[in-house]
Amino acid sequence: MKKKAVSLLLAASMMALVACGNSGGSGGGDATTTSAGGGASAAAGTETSQAEQSQETAVDDGTQGVTDTEIKIANTAAVSGAYAPVGVPFIAGIQGYCDYINDQGGIGGRKITFVHKDDEFDPVKGKAYLQEMVEDEKVFAMVGHFGTPVVAATIDDLKNYGIPSVYFATGIGQLYAEDAKTNADGYNIFPVQPIYTTEGQIMVARGKGTFNATNIGIIYTSDDAGKDMRDGATKKCDELGIPYVEEQVAAGAADVSAAVTSLKNAGVDFVVVASIQATMPTIVKEMAAQGMTAPAITTYVNVSPAISEQVAADIKGKFDVYGNGWVSYEAERADNLALYQQWTDEEYAMNAYAQTGWIAAAFFCEGVQRLVDQGKDITWTNYMKALEEAPIQNPFGGVIDYADGNRAGTQVMNLSKINGDEATGWELVDGLRSMDELLGN
């Protein structure tokens, strides 16, 4: 079990790098195409510019990427350069699930072909490859779009194309929508991984439902991650009628004393630390230095041994620091883990990045299976309606409900707290729960 816990913590820390890294990885691996059989072949050419007219290109709602025997999906992700340790197993996980489906004869007799391009975490290459995938390769859907720089640079392209886009390896707020009606609103965007805006709401729900918070402090960094979490947290406070005090600090700031003093003087009884790794320890250390005793909660990307090691001694005997999580292996999810391990290389048996790739492909295939079960044509419109018609079970987590244009990513999370006596530095204290469950709704 400890081995599984380490895997989850590694996922949190490394996916944070994917979510927040800058563009321009090193390395120059060839673009590759992988299909059901598994092999990779060098692609012809590597475009490095995006045609301006792609923003205006209309792709019909028909059946591109779908034949009587095949459904073609694609993504771009870094499998060379600094982010290859994340991208390579992520791609392997997607391919593993496709192999599992194809071994059963596919879905309704159609096998899944997965086409992949190495964008090296470069948004310019990501834009060019997206255009190639949609307009030249004619893929049916994008599955597992990878990394904040590339996703941020291409999100408008995805919306303009209208192509179904399932799972994003980032938590940026641009993916978030509550009532998407059109593709311009993000109707064709189906995030799975936690979005910071949603996580901010979950943190407040935890404060209210688990810790009986009546006056919440929100300290957030000036970067997009901090602002997105802050937006979600303040939204939930307003919805629940909970008073709050908010303070912004610069991302990477060495001195956050004034912001912490403001929260302390306000008498907050629960603190949302809306900051990723670089600044979060500074905030927590300052809270301890000023004698604060209110429990604090932070994002899942901080739930790593490296974070615990920095602050465990400072907070011991003063207050607890909690963090969210979004995957687990207990109960029926243990069977899903065993299935995953049958269809991926042994080296990825407990690799969290490969597992998230498996999750991405599982969500995509669920939509296709629903259409086949209902005898409906596989078109973009039908497919997106199928994803909305009922909640979808994450094989290693909770359910996600896309109904009525809700594009909030993971809405069910568990809770751990820093414990320096644990091998991972964190101790699981509560299982996967939705906001409604936390609030007793």
Burial profile 409-432: b = 16 or more Cβ within 10 angstroms, e = fewer: bbbbbbbbbbbeebebbbbbeeeb
Provide mean pLDDT across the span 105-126: 97
Provide mean pLDDT across the span 432-437: 96
Query: For 15, phi and psi rounded to 5 degrees?
Result: -65, -25
CB atoms within 10 A of CB 171: 32
Provide mean pLDDT across the span 141-153: 95
Question: Which pLDDT score is estimated for 18?
Answer: 58
Question: Which pLDDT score is estimated for 50?
Answer: 37
User: Both 420 and 357 in a single domain?
Assistant: no
Question: Which pLDDT score is estimated for 289?
Answer: 98
Question: Which pLDDT score is estimated for 441?
Answer: 83
How does pLDDT run across 354-406, given as a tens digit for each residue? 999 999 999 999 999 999 999 999 999 999 999 999 999 999 999 999 999 99
Question: Which pLDDT score is estimated for 195?
Answer: 96
Question: Which pLDDT score is estimated for 5?
Answer: 53
Inform me whether the pLDDT recorded for 93 exceeds 90: yes
Question: Which pLDDT score is estimated for 40?
Answer: 30
Provide the CA 152 distance to its chain's centre, in angstroms: 14
> Which is more confident, 273 or 60?
273
Provide mean pLDDT across the span 321-334: 92
Inform me whether the pLDDT recorded for 14 exceeds 80: no
Inform me whether the pLDDT recorded for 56 exceeds 80: no
Question: Which pLDDT score is estimated for 427?
Answer: 96
Q: Please state, for a pLDDT cut of 70, what percent of the chain lies above it.
A: 86
Question: What does the alpha-carbon distance between residue 206 and residue 189 come to, in Å, rounded to a whole number?
Answer: 27
User: Both 148 and 16 in a single domain?
Assistant: yes
User: Both 269 and 140 in a single domain?
Assistant: no
Question: What does the alpha-carbon distance between residue 287 and residue 67 come to, in Å, rounded to a whole number?
Answer: 59
* Residue ranges making up the domain that contains 240: 197-325+413-438
Question: What does the alpha-carbon distance between residue 200 and residue 193 come to, in Å, rounded to a whole number?
Answer: 14
The pLDDT confidence band at residue 278, using thresholds 50, 70 and 90, is confident
Inform me whether the pLDDT recorded for 58 exceeds 50: no
> Which is more confident, 20 or 79?
79
**Helix (H) / strand (E) containing 307:** helix 305-315
User: Both 21 and 79 in a single domain?
Assistant: yes
User: Both 220 and 309 in a single domain?
Assistant: yes
> Which is more confident, 13 or 341?
341
Question: Which pLDDT score is estimated for 409?
Answer: 97
Question: Which pLDDT score is estimated for 63?
Answer: 74
Region of 419 on the Ramachandran plot (φ > 0 left; ψ -120 to 50 alpha; else beta): beta
User: Both 124 and 87 in a single domain?
Assistant: yes
Inform me whether the pLDDT recorded for 36 exceeds 70: no
CATH code of the domain covering residue 135: 3.40.50.2300
Provide the β-strand partners of residue 143: 166
Mean pLDDT of the chain: 88
* Total domains present in the chain: 2
Provide mean pLDDT across the span 91-112: 98
Question: What does the alpha-carbon distance between residue 231 and residue 339 come to, in Å, rounded to a whole number?
Answer: 38
Question: Which pLDDT score is estimated for 12?
Answer: 52
Angle at 104 between CA 98 and CA 105, to 5 degrees: 90
What are the DSSP calls for 156-214, one per residue? HHHHHHT--EEEEES--GGG-BSS--SGGGTTTEE--SPPHHHHHHHHHHHHHHHH--S
User: Both 189 and 282 in a single domain?
Assistant: no
Question: Which pLDDT score is estimated for 270?
Answer: 98
User: Both 248 and 149 in a single domain?
Assistant: no
Question: What does the alpha-carbon distance between residue 147 and residue 76 come to, in Å, rounded to a whole number?
Answer: 10
How does pLDDT run across 227-269, given as a tens digit for each residue? 999 999 999 999 999 999 999 999 999 999 999 999 999 999 9
User: Both 136 and 212 in a single domain?
Assistant: no
Question: Which pLDDT score is estimated for 277?
Answer: 80
User: Both 222 and 350 in a single domain?
Assistant: no
Question: Which pLDDT score is estimated for 19?
Answer: 56
How does pLDDT run across 338-357, given as a tens digit for each residue? 999 999 999 999 999 999 99
User: Both 181 and 227 in a single domain?
Assistant: no
Question: Which pLDDT score is estimated for 174?
Answer: 95
How does pLDDT run across 186-210, given as a tens digit for each residue? 999 999 999 999 999 999 999 999 9
Residues in the chain: 441
Provide mean pLDDT across the span 407-429: 95
The pLDDT confidence band at residue 331, using thresholds 50, 70 and 90, is confident
> Which is more confident, 260 or 8?
260
Provide the β-strand partners of residue 219: 247, 273
* Those residues with Cβ within 8 angstroms of residue 125's Cβ, 6 or more apart along the chain or in another chain: 46, 47, 48, 76, 117, 119
Tokens of 153: 């640079």
User: Both 243 and 376 in a single domain?
Assistant: no
